Amino acid sequence: MPFDSMRKHLPLLSSRHLRTVLLLGFSSGLPLALSGATLQAWMASEGVSISTIGWLTLAGVPYTWKFLWAPVMDRFALPFLGRRRGWMLATQLTLAAGMALIGLMPVSSHPAWAAIAATTLAFVSASQDIIVDAYRTDLLTTAERGPGAGLTVLGYRLAMLCSGALALVMAAQWGWPATYALMGGLMGIGIAATLSGPEPPAPPALPRSLRDAVLLPLQEFLARPGSWALLALVVLYKLGDAFAGSLSTAFLIRGVGFGIAEVGAVNKGIGLAATLIGAMAGGALMVRWGLYRSLLWFGLLQGSAALAFAWLAAAGHQFGLMVFAVFLENLTSGMGTAAFTALLMALCSHRFSATQFALLSALAATGRVYVGPLAGQLVGILGWTQFFIWAVLAALPGVWLVWRQRRLLVSL
């Protein structure tokens, strides 16, 4: 980006809105591992059976069904801090207390209670996600959506690093109760953002009843020109990326023979750094390119990144090539995620942003959730090299839909 263009956009990139979005992204990402992978690690270290730990994975179910109660948060406002920030503060305070309480639970002797607490924490966390997504959608201007999406990914990933890898290191030194209590204290970052952030202006016509809050978001969206094509775009845009990523770890370990420690270090280190760079670069480029052009080029890039894994599959065990493939896949995925998040914000009406964003994000997750079994079958039939080429082809329908809807996307 030329110097004059960068100087032009510096005030935008340092805006109060974007600082708030960054901190709220951290607040959204922090609880995820604490009710999932980190809690599993705690139970495993306490000798809880693998079958019991397996059941704990169901604690994440609220994240996939959050659209069911999103209309409540569109329809009703709490009697403090406005329509959006009141709900944010309530969920954040509950999460902070919940994290501290889980740390006091005897997970080895009463794993069922720990599982119930984890599911409750996930429910409140999913509720926070609903309202933070709606708040971000209502708050950011069209020009701020790209940087806002990139900063959201940045904050979310940094929080997952804190509640994942950092929490495990802390638990080894100070124990699990102190670790979970400190994680609860880190929710103060989100609380501070909520208290200091501006309340978006309420739209002129809010849902008058819970029935309206459930039905009107669907009716409003489906009444738009090209609505069905946009829904197809939401499902398909990240499909190729989901295909390639669904078995990437298994491929690196079993397909080309890298060790678990090697794969973990590259994925957690280089992969995380590449995702953050991609998200930030994507957000910055969107300021200059706009939504349509960013969706098109980032979609092409994230789809073609699977060719690096196909190259690795053909070349065999080569560490440098493995690092390159992981870096490229995460870099382009971060760029695509930034553009896709901006697309979801652009598609939501401020009257129903909580419900519509929750529905659209749930729809987008269908590809990521259900490609795994098909991917495994394709590897068995085609082999790894051909599988990754098919992953590239799976990205093309989403890119074609972006091009097909170019007039509409340019106007968003």
Q: Is it the case that residue 49 has pLDDT exceeding 60?
A: yes
Any idea which architecture 3-202 has in CATH?
A: Up-down Bundle (1.20)
- Distance, in Å, from the CA atom of 24 to the CA atom of 202, rounded to the nearest integer, reads 20
| Domains 3-202 and 214-411 are alike in CATH topology | yes
CB burial readout 293-311, b (16+ within 10 A) else e? bbbbbbbbbbbbbbbbbbe
Q: What is the pLDDT of residues 228-253, one digit of tens each?
A: 999 999 888 988 888 887 777 778 87
Q: What is the pLDDT of residues 379-389, one digit of tens each?
A: 788 888 888 89
Of residues 188, 195, 124, the one with CA closest to residue 162: 188
Mean per-residue pLDDT of the chain: 84
- Distance, in Å, from the CA atom of 302 to the CA atom of 20, rounded to the nearest integer, reads 28
Q: State the DSSP code for 200.
A: P
Looking up tokens 């309340």 gives 199
CATH match of 214-411 with 1.20.1250.20:
yes
Collect contacts of 50-54 with beta carbons under 8 A, ≥24 apart.
52/111
Q: How does residue 128 score in pLDDT terms, banded at 50, 70 and 90?
A: very high
What's this model's pTM, rounded to 2 decimal places?
Answer: 0.81
Judged by average pLDDT, the poorest of 55-69, 276-290, 331-345, 351-365 is 55-69
Q: What angle separates helix 111-139 from helix 37-45, to the nearest 10 degrees?
A: 160
- Distance, in Å, from the CA atom of 206 to the CA atom of 76, rounded to the nearest integer, reads 10
Q: Which amino acid is at 282?
A: G
Q: What is the pLDDT of residues 219-234, one digit of tens each?
A: 888 888 888 999 999 8
Q: What percent of the chain has pLDDT over 70?
A: 94
Q: Using the Cα atoms of residue 215, residue 216, residue 220 and residue 221 in order, give the sign of their dihedral.
A: negative
Q: Is it the case that residue 48 has pLDDT exceeding 80?
A: no
Of residues 390, 372, 393, 383, the one with CA closest to residue 246: 372
- What is the pLDDT, as a whole number, of residue 367? 66
- Count Cβ atoms within 10 A of the Cβ of residue 208 and give its class: 0-12 exposed, 13-18 middle, 19 or more buried: exposed
- Distance, in Å, from the CA atom of 368 to the CA atom of 64, rounded to the nearest integer, reads 12
> Domain extents for the chain?
3-202, 214-411
- What is the pLDDT, as a whole number, of residue 14? 59
- Distance, in Å, from the CA atom of 401 to the CA atom of 358, rounded to the nearest integer, reads 22
Q: What is the pLDDT of residues 255-287, one digit of tens each?
A: 888 877 777 777 777 888 888 899 888 888 888
- What is the pLDDT, as a whole number, of residue 296? 94
Q: How does residue 372 score in pLDDT terms, banded at 50, 70 and 90?
A: low
Q: How does residue 4 score in pLDDT terms, banded at 50, 70 and 90?
A: very low
Q: What is the mean pLDDT of residues 291-306?
A: 91
CB 67 within 8 A of CB 83: no
Q: Is it the case that residue 5 has pLDDT exceeding 50?
A: no
